[in-house]
Amino acid sequence: MEKQQNMPTNTPAKRRVLGPCSHILVAANTGSWRMERPQVDEEACIRCGICSKYCPTACITVNKEGCPLEFDWHYCKGCGICANECPRQALSMIPEGSGE
């Protein structure tokens, strides 16, 4: 079995690893709950994937090249856990709709 850290974040397999709560969150359009959204500092991010592992909706994909992170805005609920867990302070939460 492939290690969790090597899996793409938005796969059904990843959600199985996270358990039944993730299925409930995935079934809901949790993106509609969002008041703030994470923004990545591409210079500070080291692509370690810690934010992705902690995200309760498994909506962060870590890229090997280019922009380090992709967020699935249908599911990102703006909880800020990813920003809290980042060891590089590469994520900041900005108001939804701020256009930054």
Closest CA to 97 of 75, 80, 79, 73: 73
Position 59 contacts ligand SF4 (CB under 6 A): yes
Residue 32 Cβ vs ligand SF4, minimum distance, rounded to whole Å: 12
Cβ(38)–Cβ(75) below 8 Å: no
Going through 13-54 in order, the beta strands assigned E by DSSP cover 36-40
Q: Rounded CA gap, 10 and 76, in Å?
A: 12
Q: Rule CB under 6 A: choose which of 6, 12, 79, 96 binds ligand SF4.
A: 79
Q: Site for ligand SF4 (CB under 6 A): how many residues?
A: 28
Distance CA 26, CA 33 (A): 13
Q: At closest approach, how far in Å is the CB of 90 from ligand SF4?
A: 4
Among 4, 39, 50, 92, binds ligand SF4 (CB under 6 A): 50
Q: Which one of 2-10, 11-19, 62-70 is the stretch in contact with ligand SF4 (CB under 6 A)?
A: 62-70
Do 38 and 50 form a contact (C-beta atoms < 8 A)?
A: no
By CB under 6 A, what part of segment 12-41 binds ligand SF4? 38, 40
